[in-house]
Chain A
Amino acid sequence: MSSARRPTARAPRRTTGLPAPLVPLAALALLFLGLPVLGLVVRTPWTTLVDVLTRRESLDALRLSLVCASLATVLCIALGVPLAWVLARGDFPGRGVLRALVTVPLVLPPVVGGVALFTAFGRRGVVGRPLDEWFGITLPFTTTAVVVAEAFVAMPFLVIAVEGALRGADRRYDEAAATLGASRWYTFRRVTLPLVAPGVAAGAVLCWARALGEFGATITFAGNFPGTTRTMPVEVYLTLQRDPPAAVALSLVLLLVSVAVLAGLRDRWLTSAR
């Protein structure tokens, strides 16, 4: 190579620094992302904050949001990890189509997701009608509907994260385990899954955060009733019409909860697992 023989008298040009034109744009992006959050903090009515947050409806909405987002995440892990495994390791025709289908809820406007859920699980839905007629079970406007709506919107986040992790994982460990006589199920539990644990954790965190913020599909499919289906985002949306400062206070709580959980999980799982 010619460059290797070049005399070293001239100092090598620095090529690792930031290209100058990117810096102001990056600063602008940072400002754009940070200012609304800063605005929320600045406009928070600190004097009435405690009053707003200890209201029964605020606490109900917060509790409901945390419970539903967590349940939705559990559901997503239980069903999403196997799906990710099929997508990453399965060898069958139409896998690309299947993967595209999985990502549909990701690009679908959430309200459309809510309407789609009606067509499937509503009282007149494909699955909902027999459920109602045979067992008397109706999903819409129940807390279960909130979990279903959140899981529908959030599951692709987990599936994509876990699938990526599975593709990146070294399959030779699985093969070694098989050579040593481990069954496929045992290998999956004791070798594959621990290997991709950081990917599952990252996916679960994203999934949980998405579920926590879910608004469109929830208000469409699950409706809005205090205590059973009114989650924090819906509470914030309705409060904004009646009492804007209180809506800002509620938003701040949601912001703090999200940031706290993301930060906490990052420290505990993501970094130490690496």
Chain B
Amino acid sequence: MSRGAAARSVIAVFVSVAVSGCGGGSTNSSSTDTGRDAPPSGAPGRITVLAAASLTEPFTLLGERFEAEHPGSRVSFSFAASSELATQISNGAPADVFASASPATMALVADAGDTDGEPTVFASNTLEIAVPAGNPADVTGLDDFAREDLSIALCAPEVPCGAAAAKVFAAAGVTPAPDTLEADVKATLGKVTLGEVDAALVYRTDVLAAGDDVEGIDFPEAAGAVNDYPIAVLADAPNAAAAEAFVALVTSPEGAEVLTETGFDLP
């Protein structure tokens, strides 16, 4: 073959690569933008909220209410594993509010001086067993997570739901046999919704949010690992005033109502 042809074919591939963009890093953070583009600017009324994946439902609702109550305001959300969001904040992500699924993760951010004031605990959540509709593998309790023949998804130990799961298994004396350790709780839930795993350990609120595709099974040991959710305005918030207002909404009776409706407990 000619050298030119080889060069052309390689160039063709490289061009295609450039067009396809690259799938890396941020694939797990789903961002829901109720406004237009993600706003790094400090335009009045525009805030960015980084929130634990499990807060997707109540915060989306609260964001809509906030926009309705404050005409001209825009709330953009980035939902991902709290630990991933903490990494983003320490790398200077331009955000106004951080809501974490674990005080430990919030402490990482607060100890680095990245929060403005003390974080407030506004909700709590417990774990529940999630199985696909119809419970094809007849999962009954935490003991089933030790079965090698089942396909099981857990959150990675790095993220809060994984840490809570580890605590529950330790308390129950069960050694789980997971097939995959997912990067955030919604990814874990997704594997159940798809029917690709027989059981997963997620938050009760996630089971509720998943609707008919997923069934929840309560287990007594869950009481031993209740997750508290702290929220804080970030020190470098481009729009601190609106951020304070959003936190006030979350911690208000109205916020409490939305959180309760979506299955969260109040502190």
Contact = CB atoms under 8 A, between A and B. Distances in A.
A109 B179 CA distance: 24
A265 interface: no
Nearest to A226: B181
A198 B9 CA distance: 11
Interface centre among B27, B158, B182 (most CB of A within 10 A): B27
A32 to B, nearest CB: 13
A157 B17 CA distance: 9
Given A118-B194, A123-B195, A141-B151, A237 B181 contact: no
Contact of A168 (B6, B159, B179, B197): B6
Given A163-B9, A168-B4, A199-B9, A224 B196 contact: no
State which size class the interface on B falls in: 35 or more
A244 B9 contact: no
A141 B197 CA distance: 9
Given A122-B194, A223-B179, A223-B182, A198 B6 contact: yes
Chain A contact patch, size range: 35 or more
Interface in A2-49: none
Contacts, number: 137
Interface in A172-205: 195-196, 198-199, 202-203
Interface string B152-170: 0100101100000000000
Interface in B81-101: 81, 83-84, 86-87, 90
Interface string A219-233: 100111110011001
Interface string B209-229: 000000000000000000000
Q: Taking each of A157, A237, A274, which has the highest tally of chain B beta carbons within 10 Å of its own beta carbon?
A: A237
Contacts of B195: 122-124
Nearest 8 interchain pairs by C-beta:
A168-B5, A164-B9, A223-B180, A110-B23, A216-B23, A141-B179, A241-B83, A169-B1
Interface of A: 103, 106-111, 118, 122-124, 138, 140-141, 156-157, 160-165, 167-170, 195-196, 198-199, 202-203, 206, 210, 213, 215-217, 219, 222-226, 229-230, 233, 237-238, 240-242, 244, 274
